[in-house]
Chain A
Amino acid sequence: MAVDKFPVEAGHIMMFARSIGDANQIYYDEDYANSTEPGAVIAPPTFVQASAQFDPDYFLRPKIGQEWFGSAKEATGLTQRESSGGGGGGGGLHAEQHYEYHKQLQAGDVLTATTKPGKSWEKEGRRGGKLMFSESVTEYRDQNGDLVVTATGVGVRTERPATSE
């Protein structure tokens, strides 16, 4: 994933906070946020995941004018594109996610993101057959070039659907 411009907007933070059920007013109310220790509307700890919205090639978003592999009235029978690994999705699932916070991310910041592949390894699973893990490391930098968040995702691919049921 490469994202050239991820504007961190207050309205997006509000919608993200709603979606995770977080009523903390620091995500909704600028006046309140200004009175807190961070002193601004800040992003929740997992917010950078929403950079997918600003990745032009993100494969888990329907693209205008292109067919989508999800169903319409019935299943389409289309196959999905391969994931580059790391963030789950594709035929794979998200196994782990790790964040390191270097600087407080707040509304008004504009991030860029660059992703590099990390380690990959295999493991024999109990239910899903062979498990293939791959790591990706994304660095998010702000408008000053400062490193804000380092995100390490681990994706896993299974030979068949892995579920406990």
Chain B
Amino acid sequence: MTIKASEIKVGDTYSEEVCKNLSRTQIVQYAGASGDYNPLHSDEIFTTQIAKYPSVFAHGMLSMGMTGKMLTNYVGDGRLTKFGVRFTSQVFPGATLTATATVAAIREEGGEHFADIEVSTKDEAGTEVIKGNAIARLDP
């Protein structure tokens, strides 16, 4: 799927549930694939007794990766020119996350069309866990 500049308008939104009841095993999968084996993400003894957090929690980059899935499903494969986020809250096992893209601007630059997109991912309680923005190259 790709989107066309002529078919979208400022304020358009696209949302996806990017994870449901996040499992500890998925966090381990991400550790294995990314190579970030920080015990804070999989080792409950270390995380609660030594680091003093209430529980293991997801890598920020797992939440960003899941948010990126929503974006590429919306704008198409290979269309992002920028994608940046702030991690605004920790994501614990059991979280259900919904990622939303909102079109903030549509512009033409050097004969190419781009959309500026605001990105927000929230958990089931409505707490924002990711806040960011992206730029996607559009068809005319």
Contacts and interface: CB of A to CB of B under 8 A. Distances in A.
Q: How large is the interface on B (under 10, 10 to 19, 20 to 34, 35 or more residues)?
A: 35 or more
Contacts of A18: 29, 33
A37 B78 contact: yes
Contacts, number: 153
A129 to B, nearest CB: 13
Given A52-B36, A97-B60, A19 B65 contact: yes
Contacts of B76: 37
Given A21-B26, A44-B65, A96 B84 contact: yes
Interface residues of A, number: 52
A15 B82 contact: no
A44 B82 contact: no
Interface in B54-68: 54, 59-62, 64-66, 68
B14 interface: no
Interface in A12-47: 12, 15-16, 18-22, 24, 26, 36-38, 42, 44-46
A99 B69 contact: no
Interface of A: 12, 15-16, 18-22, 24, 26, 36-38, 42, 44-46, 49-53, 55, 58, 60-62, 69-71, 74-75, 77, 87-89, 93-101, 104, 152, 160-161, 163-165
